[in-house]
Structure 1
Amino acid sequence: MGDKARTPAGAAGRAPAADHPARIRNVVLVGHSGAGKTTLVEALARTAGAVSRAGRVEDGATVSDHDEIERRRHHSVQLSLVPVGWRDHRINLLDTPGSPDFVGELRAGLRAADAALFVVSAAQEADAVAAVTRAVWEECAAAGTPRAIVVTHLDTARTGFDELTGVCARLFGAGDPDAVLPLYLPVHGPGGPGGHAPATGLLDLLTGRVLDLSGDARTEREPDAAERERLAGARARLIEGVIAESEDETLMERYLGGEETDPGVLVADLEKAVARGGFHPVLPAAPAPGGTGRGLGTAELLDLIVRGFPSPLEHPPVAVTGPGGEPRPPLACDPDGPLAAEVVKTAADPYQGRISLVRVFSGTLRPDGAVHVSGHGLADRGHEDHDVEERVGALTSPFGGEQRPAAACVAGDLACVARLGRAETGDTLSDPDDPLLIAPWPLPEPLLPLAVEAHGRADEDRLSQGLARLVAEDPVLRLERNPDTGQVVLWCLGEAHQDVALERLRGRYGVRVDPVPYRVALRETFGAPASGRGRHVKQSGGHGQFAVCEIDVEPLPPGSGVEFADRVVGGAVPRPFVASVEKGVRAQAARGVAAGHPLVDVRVTLRDGRAHAVDSSDAAFQTAGALALREAAADAPVHLLEPVAEVRVLVPDEYVGAVMGDLSGRRGRVVGTDRAGPGRTEVRAEVPEIEIVRYAVDLGSVSHGTGRFERAYARHEPMPPQIAERLGEQAGNRP
């Protein structure tokens, strides 16, 4: 696109000082694990002159060399920012993890960006574009976010570029295949893409020229006979697709009449169509061999970002309120407007402490200034609402392991802020004299529980603080201290998310924890009416202890809880001690009467008893009430109740049968199915919670990574005797 000469802006390849939002581009890279997002970011940084040989910055660290967990796992687990300079613009490249377990980091990147690059690997099977990638595409489409598609791994392609472009058009075209078309076609050396020959150039469909990268210098040439044949149909289709998006309604008529269209007009219309989100170009890209020089398609991709993607000035005004919900007018991207910035990521640095990556939507953030920090709307995930004032530390621009000082961060830009001790991911930074609140972005619900215990006494002292820091860094995590089981539970998105949480607790915060089996909150109830007598009589010098009570217990309908009734006549149990009996009964019910789970759905009736004028007391009758309930339980069947969840599973139509069969195998009852858009079905079922503890992982296997689900507590139901017996045996075998 555009001029032949492409010179990086800024000294030594550094990003230029972005002092106006018009010169900023915020772009998030989206794609499944292994698609090559991080490699592409490094290739773009190298092309822009920000990186030297083998993707190394001046201090010798690679672009993505900033997290020990990522280096050990060999894939991204968190959002990272790489700013580069190109054609006097600052491009903030936001690299996101590809695993569904870290979709929270992806959503943070979407929040901070104004456009998206969807990275698809030609080394994968043609139909292996991950479901999470397709879901994010639909989300961007609903928001009108401009998008382009980048095809990587051309030298190891299982799927040809043309075929993969067709797959993307089918998946992403929303019924309009001409909305997803290539701008360039890769030119391969001898052996072609099927022979895994590297691409040596690009066929520019707008100019009809070949950009040859096979030599030391970048050159242009006319296409040969085979290339002209390949060019003809693809170029005509692209021109028609661009003209269809043109604001000039006469352009299509002139083109169909045989008039040659000016390439400059085509480029201008293409850029407008991309910026409006109506056209999604496909570009091939590959790093330069050996990590030196410019990669294939990287300069063209940077040009598309600068010329076709919108600046922050085109971002819709951000909705804000006062901290108490007071309505405020939306804020446009104006460096001179009121300060409104959002923390999109929080990380812990061993030397600098907490570092917050922020996107400034309005105003200008400066170092060493006071800000108001507001956090609301995430209390259910362990983030209590808060309004505090803090002082901003240094502002920096990250690049791998290096932090480069920044004088200010204007509206539309991103920067790292040091020393915000209370700010958490999702919080709003604003002027202390005019505090504002930006509503946090929607987060996926974590549905995989991880119960933990401190490894040793020293870890017990640090556990609460370590967990608080962990959830401050990752708002997708939900911290729960279960009141029924007493367990400390971290709710995660998947197994990889669990593993990273444990590694961060140990490595960053010095807290060793042991994972323990997650326990579902069970209940007990009486299966038939019963009676019990509690007699507590002791005499050991001084005042003795005397209390006798007789009770009847009867089962009640589900959801009734524990009811207590007084049917004593003649004052056999003095009125003050009736309340003592009730207190003892309720305390014993909370502890359980058979397997140690709370007793529910019963009515306990006090019908008789005896008291002593001197030795009876509140404590004695509490003890007698508890004894009476235990005796009644010994003479009646006690049923174990398990929680049942309402589950909604959204899957492609081809997996509905597999999902329904799997749910039935989990003692689930399928109650219905509903259409949920083209090719997708929602399956509704009721399933015992003990059977879906790991469903967040198992559903991925059943649906090949395409399904997602929600669940909500419905009620407790009697557990089958054989299941209850097995649980009892397992509990008896625990050390």
Structure 2
Amino acid sequence: MSGRDAGGARREGPRCIAIVGPFASGKTSLFEEILFRTGAIPKVGAVASGNTVGDASPEAREHAMSVEVNTATTTFMDETYCFIDCPGSVEFAYESDPVLACVDAAIVVAEPDDKKIPALQVVMKHLEERNVPRLLFFNKIDRASGGVRDALELLQPVSSVPLVLRQLPIWKDGIAVGFVDLALDRAFLYREHAPSEVIDMAEMERMESEEARFSMLESLADHDDALMEQLLEDIQPPRDEVFADLVKEMRASEIVPVFLGSAANGNGIMRLLKALRHEAPDVTDTRARLDLEDATGPLVQVMKTIHTSHGGKLSLSRVLAGSVEDAAELDNAAGPAGKVSGIYDLLGQKTTKRGTAKAGDTVALGKLDGAVTGDTLSAKGAAIPTIAVPTPPQPVLHKVVRPSERKDDVKLSAALAKLVDEDPSLVVEHRQETGETVVSGQGEMHLRVALERLASKNGLSIETAVATVPYRETIKGSVTQRGRHKKQSGGHGQFGDIVIDIKPLPRGSGFVFNETISGGVVPRQYFSAVEAGAREALESGPLGGFPVVDVSVTLTDGSYHSVDSSEQAFKMAALLAMREGLPQCQPVILEPVLKVEITVPSDATPKVNAIVSGRRGQLLGFDGKPDWDGWDVISALIPEAEIADLIIELRSATQGVGTFTSNFDHLAEVHGRLSDDILKAASKEAA
């Protein structure tokens, strides 16, 4: 449905609004209150009671937190909106990325808590990087103890553009009982879970609101020369011009309007909804922001993949242009995505079948088996534009998973594939060296929820373990070793006889095989068999059975039998020589060391430096994170064995926002007691 915005321009289609913000800031409560006030639900649920439309999954209710995006379509003043409630924890942050790629605007939910400023900065940066128009809902105003303008000044560093106060609270006995709308220049009294009541402004409130309104106009005038002249000449600008500036500058991401309220009490909701109705962009603006003005459609962006128990696969999608009919065939960049089998509106986990989806609609499309989260879809055979969706961040925590019963191996593989389809920030890897299936994710809670979902949705009993560290062995000494394989059992026997030099190589050299045979004492046709035997011996070292690296083997002498010699015999001779020679070469254990870059708020840097040192890490230095005021990037070298639970300690030290990336750097020798402990563990595992 179309209408007109505050500037008089015609709007196209339903709008899609993301609700984002730090963990526990009240996003789901706001989501619930919006649905109640727009008539989508008959009564308001509560997160604590486990009866909200959002956070309806068993995992979300078990942990009392959002663990995935929740979507609801509703209407307000005869216009259609889709609100998408996004998780606040950094561990589930990637859920928001495909959503933010194609929403019209975002409501950022914040609260008067300086401890959550780093988390709020992360949210705001994500929006700024995608140039998503946004407004800020200053929640829990009923709990605010200081002045709102002081709180806003504290929050300003989280945003690269001005936070512009649109409302001023009215206080009574230290409690916010209402607000002054600075654009309308009217006062309102809060009513619990009901529209606010217009009241007369007291003299003191009038004086404070005039000052706050002038400050708002000054911010707008930074992008409007005519308004600046009016302010300099002490001329009150017309109200419609003020609203036009608010619309233009919010849509251009030049300001972030700030609204006040309490989601838990239902305060400030109607003014927020009216601001969205008049000021939020529509799908036409979003196409322009994405450089898709010429798109005719159908053009669809997949925001989330959902595997339901009975309805199969659903692709939560935004129609950006054109329309999508049931049974339409759609393609993605890789080829056919499938034929649409059902189009649905969502209200949390409830689906309602509907007809054609048009530009602006946010719907679930059924049975698009070839579509994945982040895909852009278009008509079969049509050109498909690229809509940028960030790749998932590198995993920071790893767990080995296996079914309690071996018969469930195949079932587990299929369940893991669906899990990753729903959540691309999970990575599943089968490690050939150890035979382990490793699930990797963004933190302790992320993996816990993923494994709970894996078990509950598929009826699987899952066991977990810490992933095996890929230790290596090498040698520090040299030896010349004979290997002789002779066997006679009737008929042709087996005979292979070699002499090899085993020597260490510089770290990172791998394996080198040479031969200096003269006189044909070992025929050339057997050289490759000797090399194969040496390589096989290096697969399991003499200390803990770990692969041996950085070794040179040179075939120098030997003998053969014209009848009994064979490639297999010379391979066995090489195996014997290596197994007898390696223990004499001063073997040692090597551990992988990773280059780690840790990103944290600057005030946590000293704590994190201590954490690194406590994990046998070598600090390389730190620097400010580019374009992130108040954040540092710490570089260090840390043994992989010390990385396993690093993210848990790091998050604890940084209000839940610290993270890191890691890459293999080198192998380092392990000394003393640590080496003994590794060998004891390897011996126990082998037994």
Normalised by the size of structure 2, how large is the TM-score?
0.91
Equivalent position of 1:241 in the other structure:
219
Q: Deviations over 1:189-225 (max 9, x none)?
A: 5x323xxxxx443222233322124498753121124
1:466 and 1:44 mapped to 2: Cα distance?
A: 35
| Matching residue within 313, 320, 325 for 1:354 | 313
Equivalent position of 2:116 in the other structure:
129
1:314 and 1:602 mapped to 2: Cα distance?
A: 63
**Structure 1 segment 112-191 matched on structure 2, within 5 A:** 112-122=102-112, 125=113, 127-157=114-144, 161-172=148-159, 174=160, 179-189=162-172, 191=173
Equivalent position of 1:567 in the other structure:
516
| Matching residue within 420, 423, 433 for 2:371 | 423
1:277 and 1:65 mapped to 2: Cα distance?
A: 30
Distance 1:366-1:333 versus aligned 2 partners, 3 A rule: farther
Q: Shift in Å at residue 400 of structure 1?
A: 2.0
| Matching residue within 13, 30, 41 for 1:23 | 13
Large movers: runs of 4+ above 6 Å: none
Q: Shift in Å at residue 673 of structure 1?
A: 3.0
Distance 1:466-1:158 versus aligned 2 partners, 3 A rule: farther
Equivalent position of 1:231 in the other structure:
209
Cα RMSD over matched residues?
A: 2.7
Q: Deviations over 1:131-175 (max 9, x none)?
A: 243123123224432111112223344555443223222432x3x
1:206 and 1:373 mapped to 2: Cα distance?
A: 45
Q: Shift in Å at residue 41 of structure 1?
A: 0.8
Q: Deviations over 1:666-699 (max 9, x none)?
A: 2222233333344333322222222222223222
Q: Shift in Å at residue 700 of structure 1?
A: 1.8
Q: Shift in Å at residue 93 of structure 1?
A: 1.0
Distance 1:523-1:217 versus aligned 2 partners, 3 A rule: closer
Distance 1:232-1:418 versus aligned 2 partners, 3 A rule: same
Q: Helix, strand or coil for the counterpart of 2:539?
A: helix
Equivalent position of 1:366 in the other structure:
325
Q: Deviations over 1:19-46 (max 9, x none)?
A: x972332221111111110110111111
Contact 1:181-1:280 within 8 A present in 2 as well: yes
Equivalent position of 2:405 in the other structure:
456
Q: Deviations over 1:75-116 (max 9, x none)?
A: 110012122212332222111111111011021221231211
| Matching residue within 218, 231, 247 for 1:255 | 231
Equivalent position of 2:463 in the other structure:
514
Q: Shift in Å at residue 236 of structure 1?
A: 2.5
1:464 and 1:437 mapped to 2: Cα distance?
A: 33
> 1:331 and 2:292 equivalent?
yes
Q: Deviations over 1:318-367 (max 9, x none)?
A: 87xxxxxxxxxx63275xx1333222111111010111111223332221
Equivalent position of 2:338 in the other structure:
390
Contact 2:300-2:319 within 8 A present in 1 as well: yes
1:537 and 1:437 mapped to 2: Cα distance?
A: 68
Q: Shift in Å at residue 435 of structure 1?
A: 5.1
Q: Helix, strand or coil for the counterpart of 2:115?
A: coil
> 1:730 and 2:675 equivalent?
no
Q: Shift in Å at residue 717 of structure 1?
A: 2.2
Contact 2:13-2:358 within 8 A present in 1 as well: no
> 1:402 and 2:402 equivalent?
no
Q: Shift in Å at residue 646 of structure 1?
A: 1.7
Q: Shift in Å at residue 72 of structure 1?
A: 1.8
| Matching residue within 16, 29, 36 for 2:26 | 36
Query: Which is worse superposed, 76-85 or 207-216?
Result: 207-216
> 1:297 and 2:268 equivalent?
yes
Equivalent position of 2:174 in the other structure:
192
Q: Shift in Å at residue 430 of structure 1?
A: 2.0
| Matching residue within 94, 108, 128 for 1:104 | 94
Distance 1:287-1:650 versus aligned 2 partners, 3 A rule: closer
Identity of aligned residues (%): 31
| Matching residue within 536, 542, 547 for 2:485 | 536
Equivalent position of 1:14 in the other structure:
none
Q: Deviations over 1:37-63 (max 9, x none)?
A: 01101111111122212249xxx9742
Structure 1: tracts of 5 or more residues without a match: 1-7, 11-19, 194-198, 290-294, 320-329, 375-385
| Matching residue within 310, 315, 325 for 2:286 | 315
1:426 and 1:208 mapped to 2: Cα distance?
A: 43
1:96 and 1:392 mapped to 2: Cα distance?
A: 26
Distance 1:71-1:594 versus aligned 2 partners, 3 A rule: same
Distance 1:159-1:547 versus aligned 2 partners, 3 A rule: farther
Query: Which is worse superposed, 703-712 or 583-592?
Result: 703-712
> 1:651 and 2:600 equivalent?
yes
Q: Shift in Å at residue 712 of structure 1?
A: 1.7
Distance 1:691-1:288 versus aligned 2 partners, 3 A rule: closer
Q: Shift in Å at residue 229 of structure 1?
A: 4.2
Q: Deviations over 1:531-576 (max 9, x none)?
A: 3232322333343333222211001112211111122333322322
Residue identity matched to 2:71: L
Equivalent position of 1:683 in the other structure:
634
Equivalent position of 1:484 in the other structure:
433
Contact 1:28-1:93 within 8 A present in 2 as well: yes
Distance 1:520-1:68 versus aligned 2 partners, 3 A rule: same
Q: Helix, strand or coil for the counterpart of 1:593?
A: coil
**Structure 1 segment 651-730 matched on structure 2, within 5 A:** 651-677=600-626, 678-730=629-681
Q: Helix, strand or coil for the counterpart of 2:44?
A: helix
